[in-house]
Amino acid sequence: MRSERDLLRWLQRHVTPARPDIRLGIGDDAAVLIPPPNRQLVVMSDALVEDIHFRRRYVPAEAMGHKALAVNLSDCAAMGATPRFCLLSLAVPPDARALAEGIVAGLLALADRTQVALVGGDTTASPQGLFIDVTLIGDVATDGVVTRAGAHPGDHIFVSGWLGAAAAALQALERQLPPPDATAQMRFLFPEPRLKLGQRLAERQLATAMIDLSDGLSLDLARLCEASGVGAILEAEALPIAPAAFAIAGEPNGARHLALDGGEDYELLFTVSPEQLPAVFEVREQLAEEGIPLTGIGRITETTTVMLRHHGALRPLQAGGYDHFTRFEKDGNGATDSSA
Ligand SMILES: [Mg+2]
């Protein structure tokens, strides 16, 4: 497509058909949406920037679009919310115009599957580098929202899925090695946000606090603990480390480092009071049927430090995940690392 008008026409042909909660979709000055009665709106946005979050040479256009929505859906899941609408802003450099359609198609495929309607956005030229920004609007029951701030000493810490898979796949791509395995490759290129798990936990009020793992377990757990005013002890031997992390690292310490600090897992990390453990075990059984493990990896403590127990010895766990601004300062160039 050559112009913004072409893209708009293409979008109008491809977006979700009429829905009762959309009075006005793409094409006017703004979308007009009807909020569900007795629900709170949950709104979030996240941008993907070329050479900061992805590289064009190994991320297909469809994966860029998928991921731009998926990272927002993952935040939505971490609030226990149900996603409804999204907006897409796309800044495209001249040499990437051919990718625009694929990016939108990748976003729409995931939007369809998760019943999210694309209701607006913007396209513009970019002097260099692709920029994909998605705003997502969801809703949650008035008493159903789960924040990062509710963890109490004694709570159990759970994580979904396998950790370090996406980081392992990214390393393979960066080092131009064959992908460690197909699952890890998919986890990196087409992450599947844990929406159902987030909603289940929220509906039954099983999680005292929750966060999605975007920047690495060590950093995201530190964020949850800071928001809750607590600390934690993580059990190194309990971590569900992805087979791909072992394959790429070649030894257990390196694999554990990928699982703790690698980032881009897009799994859910949440805390559960001891009284709610049996109910969470039920959820774990349901999830196991879908092939997704749910693993207890530690406990919340009263002190505000995060510790790692390994072979019986406790040591402070450095929050080694990805922080965009500190990484930018260290490198003097954010474009030298594409993990996020
Ligand atoms: Mg998040």
Centroid of ligand 1 to alpha carbon of 98 (angstroms): 31
| pLDDT score at 279 | 98
- Least reliable range by pLDDT among 118-122, 138-142, 165-169: 118-122
Quick count: other Cβ atoms within 10 Å of Cβ 177? 12
Inter-CA distances, 247 with 190, 217, 230, 252, Å? 20, 20, 35, 10
Domain endpoint, select from 79, 109, 141: 141
Tokens 């064959």 belong to 178
Per cent of the chain over pLDDT 70 is 92
Centroid of ligand 1 to alpha carbon of 328 (angstroms): 20
Centroid of ligand 1 to alpha carbon of 81 (angstroms): 13
- Kindly report, residue by residue over 93-107, the tens digit of the pLDDT: 999 989 999 999 999
Centroid of ligand 1 to alpha carbon of 211 (angstroms): 6
- Section 273-282 average pLDDT: 98
Centroid of ligand 1 to alpha carbon of 213 (angstroms): 7
- Section 249-264 average pLDDT: 95
Centroid of ligand 1 to alpha carbon of 175 (angstroms): 27
Is 315 part of any domain? yes
| pLDDT score at 6 | 73
| Residue 270: domain span | 156-336
Report the amino acid identity of residue 127.
P
**Is residue 263 located within the same domain as residue 205?**
yes
Measured over the CA atoms of residue 232, residue 195, residue 69 and residue 257, the dihedral's sign is: positive
Domain endpoint, select from 141, 176, 195: 141
- Identify which of 17-26, 178-187, 325-334 has the greatest average pLDDT: 178-187
- Kindly report, residue by residue over 150-205, the tens digit of the pLDDT: 999 999 999 999 999 999 999 999 899 988 899 999 999 999 999 999 999 999 99
Q: How far apart are the first and last CA of the chain?
A: 30
Q: Which two tokens stand for residue 132?
A: 């994909």
CATH number of domain containing 65: 3.30.1330.10
Q: In whole angstroms, what is the distance from residue 207 CA to residue 222 CA?
A: 17
Centroid of ligand 1 to alpha carbon of 295 (angstroms): 19
Centroid of ligand 1 to alpha carbon of 76 (angstroms): 8
Inter-CA distances, 202 with 4, 141, 153, 184, Å? 40, 9, 20, 28
Centroid of ligand 1 to alpha carbon of 166 (angstroms): 16
Is 57 part of any domain? yes
In the predicted structure, residue 331 carries a pLDDT above the cut 80: no
- Kindly report, residue by residue over 52-70, the tens digit of the pLDDT: 999 999 999 999 999 999 9
- Section 196-218 average pLDDT: 97
**Is residue 52 located within the same domain as residue 170?**
no
| pLDDT score at 15 | 73
Centroid of ligand 1 to alpha carbon of 1 (angstroms): 33
Centroid of ligand 1 to alpha carbon of 72 (angstroms): 8
Centroid of ligand 1 to alpha carbon of 26 (angstroms): 27
- Is residue 181 a contact partner of residue 247, using CB atoms and an 8 Å limit? yes
Centroid of ligand 1 to alpha carbon of 109 (angstroms): 22
